[in-house]
Chains A and B, each alone.
Chain A
Amino acid sequence: MIRFARLASSLAIIALLGLATSAQALEEEVVLGLSQDRVAITADFDGSEILIFGAVKRETPIPKGPPLQVIVAVSGPSSPVTVRRKEKKLGIWVNADSVIVDSAPSFYAIATSAPFQEVISDTEDLRYRVSIARAIRSVGAAMNIENAQDFADAVVRIREDEGLYSLRENTVAVDQQTLFRSAIDMPSDLTEGHYTARIFLTRSGQVVSSFETDIDVRKVGLERFLYSMSREQPFLYGLMSLAIAVVAGWGASAAFRLLRQ
């Protein structure tokens, strides 16, 4: 699975390189920096902010025409999601129809330097899968279910409410069409995995350059230890949970007896 993901991402990079060469006429390229390329989930993890900054490298003068725009998109690992819809049956609300959305990122944040519609054209969005709706893939929706699109929309709506998906326009600052910076807020309810940060430079809605880099989000310390133990040594983990429960129960009982004496 991991190997497949790596293969897919390296294919994507190759594809992006190909596109970059075809857009070479404009000769603008992203040079990127991240405030951190890993996020450590510790026991007191309360969200994180990643600063993304970069510069546009070019050999020629700044081209004439509309100004350079920048899009920053950070996405979490994708996985299939089952979306269920409640219906009223026999007077109560129960889960009825369900659709499996083939791939939806666990986290997706977009920051742009201008309103989204002005920054990137629809065809370029389709090609690079930048917008939230395009980042979700739902090809295998069952034909017998009406309004399958509603299910994909529900994924976006629910995750937007939870702060996992966000589109923040005008939050990338661009100086002199050369330097840009933005901050992406990572919520406290993060799942582990390889996150990717993608940067697109656009002019008149056309992508002129793009760049992709990984952000590693991992549980560390106690969180890592407990999580691994629950998966690798479930029996021991269960016994440990019970031991803690019994000791705590006995401890409280004994402590209260001492208090009363």
Chain B
Amino acid sequence: MQVYLPIAEVSVNAFLLLGLGGIVGILSGMFGVGGGFLMTPLLFFIGIPPVVAVATEANQIVASSFSGVLAHFRRRTVDIKMGLVLQVGGLIGAGLGVVVFNYLKSLGQVDLLVTLCYVVFLGVVGTLMFIESLNAIFKSKRTGSAPAPRRQRGWVHALPFKMRFRTSGLYISVIPPIMVGVAVGILAAIMGVGGGFIMVPAMIYILGMPTKVVVGTSLFQIILVTAFTTMLHATTNYTVDIVLAVLLLVGGVIGAQIGTRIGTYLKAEQLRILLALMVMLVCIKLGLDLLLMPDELYSLGAAGGH
């Protein structure tokens, strides 16, 4: 069944979109990531214009994250206070990101920026997570004790403006969470992602939050940042395609529910290593696109855009 998307102005198969939404939704629920880092490149691939894909994906992430976070709220694995602090940074970052996005769009370098962001962030985060979770698995097998990330305690704990985060059992400065929030907000606006793939490791390794509250808190924060990003794209670029979003999110929210259930059966280290592998795969695919000579050297764009 073909559906004509009113904003993207292309006609696509509805079941393809529902299926994509479902698969990405499962991953989203399992790992506490919005799934945008997979969905946005997939949307490029099926012919959705990049500017529409990025904006619409932000809207779809709101739905899948909202669906996922409700399950975490019931299990009390959301650190609301931490989420709100991250949020302050997130809003600043999202605003900056949309400005950068629109500027590069006028230069014709948006695609490059988006792809480069993906390759760099996915590469670094994926590799770090992969190594760390492998170590964690080996350590837990040998000694049976959880690894304590003592190295980071130093600088994170030396900063001023300390605040107590009861759910996470932390007493740390608000500066690192706000900085993490800014970084994720910028990525949300530029890459059409919630930023969970960078947020989750940042919360574990930089902020030292316990893994059990990380996923819920990440989802909670992602909802607000992507909602803000959606509004910015809708009002400045007019690129949110509501029909595309609905198709993706119907599949997405159902997938997210299934994913959340699967996630509870897996150990934290296993979850992390799977997420790391997936992140690295996407990174390699996008990296090859930059390095190999493209089939078509030319691309078309509307002249005199914003």
Docked Cα-Cα span, A119 to B63, in Å, equals 57
Decide yes or no whether B221 CB sits under 8 A from chain A. no
Shortest CB-to-CB span from A219 to chain B, Å, is 6
Question: In the complex, what distance in Å separates the CA atom of A191 from the CA atom of B7?
Answer: 10
Would A242 and B112 count as touching, CB distance under 8 A?
no
Q: Which of B7, B254, B291 contacts A226 (CB 8 A)?
A: B7
Could you tell me the distance in whole angstroms from the C-beta of A99 to the nearest C-beta in chain B?
10
CB nearest to B255 among chain A residues: A252
Residues of A within 8 A of B299 (CB): 83-84, 86, 95, 158
Which of A101, A234, A249, A253 contacts B62, CB < 8 Å? A249
CA A226 to CA B7, docked complex, whole Å = 8
Q: Which chain B residues in 141-165 approach chain A with CB under 8 Å?
A: none
Given contacts A158-B298, A242-B62, contact A249 B290 (CB under 8 A): no
Shortest Cβ distance from B256 into A: residue: A252
In the complex, what residues of B have CB within 8 A of residue A155's CB? 298, 300
A242 and B6 in contact (CB under 8 A), knowing A86-B299, A237-B240, A253-B67?
A: no
The residue of chain A having its C-beta at the shortest distance from the C-beta of B73 within the complex is: A253
Q: Is B64 an interface residue (CB 8 A)?
A: yes
Residues 197-238 of chain B, each 1 if its beta carbon lies under 8 Å from chain A, else 0: 000000000000000000000000000000100110111001
On whether A219 and B301 interact (CB within 8 A), knowing A188-B11, A248-B253, the answer reads no
- A248-B240 in contact (CB<8A): no
| A234 to B235 Cα, complex, angstroms | 5
Question: Which residues in A have their C-beta under 8 angstroms from that of B86?
Answer: none
With A44-B1, A80-B303, A92-B291 as contacts: A249 and B253 at CB distance below 8 Å = yes
Decide if B249 touches A219 in the complex (CB within 8 Å). no
Q: Shortest CB–CB separation between residue B237 and chain A, in angstroms?
A: 9
Asked if A33 CB lies within 8 Å of chain B CBs, one says no
Interface centre among B4, B7, B257, by most chain A C-beta atoms within 10 angstroms, is B4
Query: Chain B residues near A222 (CB, 8 Å)?
Result: 6
State whether A46 and B11 are in contact (beta carbons under 8 Å apart), knowing that A237-B242, A245-B62 are contacts in the complex: yes
Interface string of B156-179 (1 = CB under 8 A from A): 000000000000000000000000
| Residues A235 and B290 in contact, CB atoms below 8 Å apart | no
Interface members, chain A 228-242 (any B CB < 8 Å): 230-231, 234-235, 237-242
Partner of B296, one of A100, A158, A223, A224: A158
Closest to A226 in B: B6
A93-B2 contact in complex given A46-B11, A245-B245, C-beta closer than 8 Å? no
B297 lies within 8 A of A81 (CB)? no
**Minimum Cβ distance to chain A for residue B100 (Å):** 17
How far, in whole Å, are A246 and B66 apart by their CA atoms in the complex? 6
Contact in complex: A44, B63 (CB < 8 Å): no
B71 touches A (CB below 8 Å): yes
CB-CB contacts below 8 Å: B94-147 with A: 108-109, 111-112
Contact between B291 and A250, CB atoms less than 8 A apart = no
Q: Is the CB of A189 within 8 A of B66?
A: no
Indicate whether A188 sits within 8 Å of B2 (C-beta atoms), given known contacts A84-B298, A248-B250, A249-B253: yes
Distance from B62 Cβ to chain A, minimum over Cβ atoms (Å): 4
Bound Cα distance from A88 to B297, whole angstroms: 10
CB distance from B145 to the nearest CB of A (A): 35
Chain B residues near A158: list those with CB within 8 A: 296, 298-300
Please indicate the chain A residues that have their CB under 8 angstroms from the CB of B245 in the complex: 241, 244-245
B70 at the interface (CB under 8 A from A): yes
- B291 & A249 in contact (Cβ 8 Å cutoff): no
Q: Which residues of A contact B227 (CB under 8 A)?
A: 242, 245
A245 and B243 contacting across the interface, CB-CB below 8 Å = no
Cβ contacts under 8 Å, B7 to chain A = 226-227, 230
Bound: A82/B108 CA distance, A = 9
Q: Is B253 a contact of A251 with CB atoms below 8 Å?
A: yes
**Known contacts A83-B298, A250-B67; A191/B9 CB under 8 A:** yes
> In whole angstroms, what is the CA distance A112 to B302 when docked?
30
Say yes or no: A230 contacts B240, CB within 8 Å. yes
Is A79 interfacial (CB-CB < 8 Å)? Answer: yes
Contacts of A234 in B (CB 8 A): 234-235, 238
Contact call A249/B63, Cβ cutoff below 8 A: yes
CB distance from B305 to the nearest CB of A (A): 8
A94 in the interface (beta carbon within 8 A): yes
- Give A residues with C-beta under 8 Å from B: 41-47, 79-88, 91-95, 98, 100-101, 150-151, 154-155, 157-159, 188-191, 219, 222-224, 226-227, 230-231, 234-235, 237-242, 244-246, 248-253, 256
* Top 5 closest pairs, chain A to chain B, by CB: A249-B66, A238-B234, A188-B11, A252-B253, A154-B298
Known contacts A86-B297, A93-B292, then 10 further A-B pairs from the complex at CB < 8 Å, ordered by chain A residue: A81-B300, A83-B301, A84-B301, A93-B294, A95-B111, A100-B304, A242-B230, A242-B231, A252-B254, A256-B257
